[in-house]
Amino acid sequence: MFKRILVANRGEIALRVIRAAHDLGIEAVAVYSEADRGAPYLEIADEAICIGPAASAQSYLNIPGIIAAAEIADVEAIHPGYGFLAENAHFAEVCHSCGIKFIGPSAEVIDSCGDKSKAKTTAAHAGVPVVPGSDGAVADIEEAAKIAQLIGYPVIIKAAAGGGGRGMRMAKDASVFHNCFRQAQQEAAAAFGDDTVYVEKFVVNPRHVEVQILAGADGEVVYLGERDCSIQRRHQKLIEESPSPATTPDISKRLGEAAVAFAKAAGYVNAGTVEFLLDANGDFFFIELNARIQVEHCVSEMVSGIDLVKWQIMIAAGANLDFKQSDVQIRGHAIEFRINAENPARNFAPAPGRIEKLFLPGGRGVRVDSHIAAGYTIPRHYDSMIAKLIVHGEDRAEALRIARRALREIKIEGPGLATTVPLHLQLLDQPEFQRGEIDTGYLERFLDS
Ligand code: MV4
């Protein structure tokens, strides 16, 4: 096992990784930008090293700076958290070249899963259901239009290098196909420097359901149930839960087995997430693999009892899983509420500031993952998520009751500060949400009403 690791991230996930390291008896070294200097969570780390100015490009994305910090601190491994360098194959490769273990899958696997059209082909070959469409990337617009005609409208054109909804265009019929295709290509070229696109049937109002997997150093893979992440706005998730209110034990098992089949075909090692679209008939289709720990990993931890970040570190150190699929038991229901410093009444505009009054909830069935403290000033340079409330109940109804109670306890106050807490409380009062009748369009429909 490692003696000392470096956390190449900030905020709540940096603290989450530091805690997992400490639970394993490992020292954790934090890095920080000038904007994060003095942040209270840095004191939990065994050492903290400044890696540059506030701008992410010069700090949390600065590979030479992070590697220099790792050398100075004499660590054996680097955990990238999520975002920033987490799915950067080049960074994983640089770590490897420097003799530092990257806590995540190999550079090759990150690279091959980064191409969504390639990943889709891998899935299809592994017998995993995929959305009907082009077999990999399309060569040109003529081929794409032919495929669209064949599968039938509406279709969606997606960037192979995409993710998070960028470089994606829906075409409702042949009359708009040409424009949509060119827009998707242009957006892909601008965002990823790669205009490769593929075409598939557009699934109307799907649910976003994803399966947490864990693969040991020997490539043995287990699934830890699914998460429903349908409550999102502009591809920013707001609420995630496990199990999905839309799955039966049979769908859940087939989703899990499909995710494992994909992970094995991809040669995946470490923690990962296999994303699917689930339609109203209960049919599901692979869309992509996320080669990182995700924000919403906590709901899977609550229902499975398995510490995912601890396993990420152990697997990077060479461990195989010490349990089998049949040992995994999903218990109860967990829901995560993202608490962002933004104002839902002003189109979710960032609303950071100094926290003058703080009270965070606790008690039975409540977990709060957060780096904030009273007196802390939320920097405006980064993501607005400042805390995650995760509740766990024996069933969904109990989880919802605990959520209401916990959300009502929260006080995060200061000049100019606004959070998503009031919106969460409003959503908890909605009959559709209470019934779990949520698809990826639900939140935007609710906000427009
Ligand atoms: C789709 C789709 C409908 N049909 N693919 C958006 C992000 C990317 N990961 C995949 N996305 C979608 N792919 C087909 N064939 C609808 C979406 C989509 C979506 C997916 C997951 C979560 C939220 C979403 C919001 C809008 C569209």
* Cα separation, 374 vs 154, whole angstroms: 50
- The enclosing domain of 211 has a CATH number of 3.30.470.20
Q: How many CB atoms lie within 10 A of CB 17?
A: 27
Ligand 1 centroid, distance to 200 Cα (angstroms): 11
Does residue 26 belong to any structural domain of this protein? yes
Ligand 1 centroid, distance to 163 Cα (angstroms): 10
Residue-range definition of the domain harbouring residue 195: 132-201
pLDDT at 163: 77
pLDDT at 168 over 80: yes
Same domain, 228 and 274: yes
pLDDT at 218 over 80: yes
What integer is the mean pLDDT of 213-242? 97
Task: Assess whether the C-beta atom of 200 lies below 6 angstroms from ligand 1.
Answer: yes
- The enclosing domain of 167 has a CATH number of 3.30.1490.20
Ligand 1 centroid, distance to 278 Cα (angstroms): 10
* Cα separation, 249 vs 330, whole angstroms: 10
What integer is the mean pLDDT of 404-414? 98
Same domain, 155 and 216: no
Same domain, 232 and 373: yes
Residue with tokens 């400490």: 22
205, 277, 284, 290, best to mutate for ligand 1 pocket (most atoms within 8 Å of CB): 277
pLDDT at 131: 97
Task: Assess whether the C-beta atom of 204 lies below 6 angstroms from ligand 1.
Answer: no
Same domain, 407 and 286: yes
pLDDT at 162: 86
- Catalytic residue among 207, 292, 338, 396, which? 292
Does residue 286 belong to any structural domain of this protein? yes
What integer is the mean pLDDT of 177-186? 95
Q: Which residues of 333-357 are buried (b: 16+ CB within 10 A; e: fewer)?
A: bbbbbbbbbbbbeeebebbbbebee
Q: Are 120 and 126 in contact (CB under 8 A)?
A: no
- The last residue of one of the domains, among 169, 201, 233, is 201
**Counted domains in the chain:** 3
- The last residue of one of the domains, among 201, 220, 239, is 201
Residue 212: pLDDT band (50, 70, 90) is: very high
Task: Assess whether the C-beta atom of 203 lies below 6 angstroms from ligand 1.
Answer: yes
From the list 120, 101, 327, the residue with the least C-alpha distance to 214 is 327
Q: In whole angstroms, how far apart are CA 403 and each of 86, 236, 336, 365?
A: 30, 20, 9, 9
- The last residue of one of the domains, among 143, 173, 201, is 201
Q: Containing H/E element for 80?
A: none
pLDDT at 359: 98
Smallest CA separation from ligand 1 atom 23, residue: 440
Task: Assess whether the C-beta atom of 116 lies below 6 angstroms from ligand 1.
Answer: no
pLDDT at 164 over 80: no
Does residue 306 belong to any structural domain of this protein? yes
Same domain, 269 and 378: yes
pLDDT at 349 over 90: yes
From the list 92, 122, 116, the residue with the least C-alpha distance to 104 is 92
Does residue 110 belong to any structural domain of this protein? no
Reported residue count of the chain is 449
Give percent of the chain above pLDDT 90: 98
Residue 292 falls in the annotated catalytic set: yes
Residue 165: pLDDT band (50, 70, 90) is: confident
- The enclosing domain of 57 has a CATH number of 3.40.50.20
Does residue 259 belong to any structural domain of this protein? yes
Same domain, 215 and 194: no
Whether the model clears a pTM of 0.95, i.e. scores above it, the answer is yes
Residue 91: pLDDT band (50, 70, 90) is: very high
Same domain, 426 and 441: yes
Of 22-36, 189-203, 357-371, the range with the lowest mean pLDDT is 189-203
pLDDT at 325: 98
pLDDT at 239 over 80: yes
Same domain, 280 and 364: yes
Question: Which atom of ligand 1 has the smallest separation from the CA of 232?
Answer: 23
What integer is the mean pLDDT of 287-301? 97
Smallest CA separation from ligand 1 atom 10, residue: 165
Does residue 117 belong to any structural domain of this protein? no
Same domain, 435 and 337: yes
Task: Assess whether the C-beta atom of 300 lies below 6 angstroms from ligand 1.
Answer: no
Task: Assess whether the C-beta atom of 206 lies below 6 angstroms from ligand 1.
Answer: yes
pLDDT at 28: 98
Same domain, 299 and 423: yes
158, 168, 232, best to mutate for ligand 1 pocket (most atoms within 8 Å of CB): 168
Q: Which burial class, exposed, middle or buried, applies to 152 when counting CB atoms under 10 A from its CB (0-12, 13-18, 19+)?
A: exposed
Mean pLDDT, the chain, rounded, equals 97
Smallest CA separation from ligand 1 atom 22, residue: 208
* Cα separation, 92 vs 86, whole angstroms: 9
Helix (H, G, I), strand (E, B) or coil at 121: helix
Task: Assess whether the C-beta atom of 208 lies below 6 angstroms from ligand 1.
Answer: yes
Same domain, 50 and 161: no
Ligand 1 centroid, distance to 165 Cα (angstroms): 7
End-to-end CA distance of the chain: 53
Does residue 337 belong to any structural domain of this protein? yes
* Cα separation, 20 vs 364, whole angstroms: 22
Task: Assess whether the C-beta atom of 169 lies below 6 angstroms from ligand 1.
Answer: no
pLDDT at 178 over 80: yes
Same domain, 294 and 405: yes
Does residue 419 belong to any structural domain of this protein? yes
